[in-house]
């Protein structure tokens, strides 16, 4: 005797119920995907993901602010003294251990290219503009919550967890750098 | 549910009788906030603030809907459209100031309402669900207020959006993608502004829905009262209307006087001048702080300056800030004392006032620059804040000897006169 006739086990009606609800459930979840995905960056926002910058006018000790992905990028021409100061630091003592060489292109270690976005909560640190406070380590200082970066834009003090991010970049020529 | 002696809705007008048989909406209102809702007779003015909060929400919805008729949620024109409202739209200046200061008044009222709950332990059984729903409303309010502040697209709007969405980037692994998903870009932009406007319009109606649940849950056990003694008899209550409609009306008058003083004489007192500068993604204002009603939580966020165990300082700050509110969800089970009202809990009362001072100190530090001595004060105050809820409250509620409670609300009001308050001890006729 089958389960369907003695009232035990899985009946035909149970199977239909479960199948129908599962099918509707999968359909409902699938319909959620576009609703969630529409919030992610759109194609035009992603398309702005590379920019070329002329760096010929930046003399040693100077820095400029460029814009990439609608966020500031600091391009800094380090002086030999600043490079020496960055190299002198014992990397193992850092919160986010990295050498200046790891953060710059080989042969162009004087060009420090970082995001101008504090890794704490995203403020723009000071130190790239003429006359701005550079903080006690001679790099950048974030006025929002007091994070201090050194001449290799590495976090040295304050709440930020990471060094200023180095965006992907390459030198198209000696005077032009492509970011992104 | 209501007490058996509640007045029954009996319409005499034939039209209302016709209506009552088909859609008993007037009956529903009568039972919810009319003569059909029996309320303890001893409520003090601290019990005005629920109605006042509801009024503030209606105020925000009305002014907000009309502002949305003139505002344009596009990063190119949002700032100008707000200036257009201020300068060109008929009465636009008043509507915008009414909306901006209405938010502040809403938070003043809600904070008072919450601290009323703390003092009188309104969260205790059988009213836990009212409390939990209230915390949900508060979280929704915070989200709504934050997104509303972004809409003018001034400097504070932009950097507020950046910093607050930056909180999510502290979450390990998924943080940065999550932040980009929330913003629809790599930094606050047109996509973020548009969705914030959409949600800022939607959430108040979600709040309205949760308020309906909050009031529904309230009507199951009925309102609490300053003695914390439950209603026992008919003489303990009076009908909501006209007794408390009148009392709430008086409170509403005071509320409106304060509100109008703000709107008409100091409309920018609680705002930040920097928000009258258009958003500039390349320059952070020197001193960014949220609106005043977020200061205590902002102070807790900034109190964490060094890594703790393996958790980075940034993540700790974010976790602590959210925990500061989430801990309220556990309050009904952290405070295990049998007595509700702070009036009868001498030890609890002292710590309640300490908590009030602590939150005020946190608020002051949250509005101050991120420098010493404010960071250290925030650290001490934030530690005390969590100690209060997680350590002090459970200990106090278990060791405290409460003072004797009155037998009933009637006794608390009229004194111990059995003939006046209760049926005679022995039957008059044998």
Q: What are the boundaries of each domain within chain B? A: 45-226+244-288, 297-417
Would you call A144 and B163 a contact, using CB atoms and an 8 Å cutoff? yes
Q: Catalytic residue at B287?
A: no
**Rounded to an integer, what is the distance from CA A37 to the centroid of its chain?**
21
More confident residue, A96 or B365: B365
Report the distance separating Cα B289 and Cα B276, nearest Å: 15
What confidence tier does A101 reach under pLDDT thresholds 50, 70, 90? Answer: confident
At B419 the pLDDT is 56
Instruction: Give me the interface pTM, i.e. the ipTM.
Output: 0.75
Label residue A1 by pLDDT band (50, 70, 90).
very low
Helix (H, G, I), strand (E, B) or coil at A170: strand
Q: In the structure, what pLDDT confidence band is assigned to residue A135 with cuts at 50, 70 and 90?
A: confident
Q: What is the pLDDT of residue B158?
A: 94
- Please report, for residues A14, B68, B200, B277, the alpha-carbon distance to residue B207 in angstroms, rounded to integers and kept in the order given: 39, 18, 11, 31
Mean pLDDT of chain A: 85
Please report where in the chains the tokens 């692994």 appear, as a residue: B173
Average pLDDT, chain B: 92
Q: Which residues of A touch B189 (CB under 8 A)?
A: 45, 70
Model pLDDT, residue A5: 56
Q: How far is A108 from chain B (nearest CA, A)?
A: 26
Q: Test B166 with A116 for CB contact under 8 angstroms.
A: no
Contacting A with CB below 8 Å, chain B residues are 159, 162-163, 165-167, 169-170, 180-187, 189, 191, 195, 281-284, 286-288, 302, 304-305, 307, 312-315, 317, 370-371
B32-56 average pLDDT score? 95
Nearest CA in chain B to A47: B185
For residue range B192-212, what is the model confidence (pLDDT) as tens digits? 999 999 999 999 999 999 999
Whether residue A121 and residue B163 make contact (CB cut-off 8 A), yes or no, is yes
Q: Would you say A121 and A115 are in contact if contact means Cβ atoms under 8 Å apart?
A: no
Tell me, which fold does domain B45-226+244-288 have in CATH? Cytochrome Bc1 Complex; Chain C (1.20.810)
Q: In what order do the strands lie in the sheet with A63-68?
A: A63-68, A71-77, A111-115
Chain A residues with CB-CB distance to B182 below 8 A: 39
Q: Which residue has the higher pLDDT, A131 or B119?
A: B119
**Residue from the list A117, A144, A159 with its beta carbon closest to the beta carbon of B317:** A159
pLDDT for res B424: 52
Give the highest mean pLDDT range of A16-25, A91-100, A119-128: A16-25
Mean pLDDT of the A32-41 span: 90
Instruction: Give the containing element (helix H, strand E) for A61.
Output: none
Please compute the mean of the pLDDT values over residues B178-182 and round it to a whole number. 91
> For the segment B125-165, what is each residue's pLDDT rounded down to a tens digit?
999 999 999 999 999 999 999 999 999 999 999 999 988 88
From CA B184, how far away is CA B197, in angstroms rounded? Answer: 14
What's the whole-model pTM score?
Answer: 0.88
């Amino acid at each position: 005797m089958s389960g369907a006739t003695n009232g035990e086990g899985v009946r035909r009606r149970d199977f239909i119920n479960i199948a129908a609800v599962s099918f509707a459930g999968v359909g409902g979840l699938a319909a959620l995907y576009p609703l969630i995905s529409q919030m992610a960056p759109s194609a035009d926002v992603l398309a702005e993901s590379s920019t070329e910058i002329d760096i010929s006018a930046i003399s040693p000790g100077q820095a400029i602010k460029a814009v990439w992905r609608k966020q500031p990028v600091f391009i800094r021409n380090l002086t030999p003294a600043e490079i020496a100061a960055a190299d002198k630091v014992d990397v193992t003592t850092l919160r986010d251990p990295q050498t200046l060489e790891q953060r710059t292109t080989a042969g162009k270690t004087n060009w420090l290219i970082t995001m101008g976005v504090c890794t704490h909560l995203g403020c723009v640190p000071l130190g790239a503009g003429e006359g701005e406070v550079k903080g006690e380590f001679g790099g950048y200082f974030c006025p929002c919550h007091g994070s201090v970066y050194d001449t290799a834009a590495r976090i040295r003090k304050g709440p930020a967890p990471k060094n200023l991010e180095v965006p992907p970049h390459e030198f198209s020529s000696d005077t032009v750098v492509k970011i992104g | 549910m209501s007490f058996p002696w509640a007045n029954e809705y009996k319409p005499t007008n034939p039209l209302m009788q016709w209506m009552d048989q088909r859609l008993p909406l007037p009956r529903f209102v009568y039972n919810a906030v009319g003569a059909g809702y029996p309320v303890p007779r001893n409520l003090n003015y601290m019990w005005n603030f629920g109605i006042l909060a509801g009024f503030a929400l209606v105020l925000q919805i009305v002014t907000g809907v009309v502002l949305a008729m003139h505002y344009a949620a596009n990063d190119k024109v949002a700032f100008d459209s707000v200036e257009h409202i201020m300068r060109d739209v008929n009465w636009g200046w008043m509507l915008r100031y009414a909306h901006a200061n209405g938010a502040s008044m809403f938070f003043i009222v809600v904070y008072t309402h919450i601290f009323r709950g703390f003092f009188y332990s309104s969260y205790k059984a059988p009213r836990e669900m009212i409390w939990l729903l209230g915390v949900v409303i508060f979280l929704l309010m915070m989200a709504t207020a934050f997104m509303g502040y972004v809409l003018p697209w001034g400097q504070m709007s932009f950097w507020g959006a950046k910093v607050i969405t930056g909180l999510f980037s502290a979450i390990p692994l998924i943080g940065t993608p999550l932040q980009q998903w929330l913003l629809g870009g790599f930094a606050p932009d047109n996509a973020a502004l548009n969705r914030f406007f959409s949600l800022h319009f939607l959430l108040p109606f979600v709040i309205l829905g949760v308020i309906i649940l909050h009031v529904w849950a309230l009507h199951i056990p009925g309102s609490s009262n300053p003695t914390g003694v439950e209603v026992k008899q008919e003489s303990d209550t009076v009908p909501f209307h006209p007794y408390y409609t009148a009392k709430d009306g008086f409170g509403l008058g005071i509320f409106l006087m304060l509100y109008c003083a703000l709107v008409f004489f100091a409309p920018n007192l609680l705002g930040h001048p920097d928000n009258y500068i258009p958003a500039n993604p390349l320059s952070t204002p020197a001193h960014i702080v949220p609106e005043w009603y977020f200061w205590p939580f902002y102070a807790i966020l900034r109190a964490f300056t060094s890594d703790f165990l393996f958790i980075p300082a940034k993540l700790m700050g974010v976790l602590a800030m959210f925990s500061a509110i989430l801990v309220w969800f556990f309050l009904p089970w952290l405070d295990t004392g049998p007595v509700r009202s702070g009036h009868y809990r001498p030890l609890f009362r002292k710590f309640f006032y300490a908590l009030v001072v602590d939150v005020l100190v946190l608020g002051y530090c949250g509005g101050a620059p991120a420098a010493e001595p404010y960071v250290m004060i925030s650290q001490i105050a934030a530690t005390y804040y969590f100690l209060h809820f997680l350590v002090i409250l459970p200990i106090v509620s278990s060791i405290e000897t409460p003072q004797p409670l009155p037998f009933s609300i009637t006794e608390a009001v009229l004194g111990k006169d059995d003939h006046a308050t209760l049926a005679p001890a022995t039957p008059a006729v044998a």
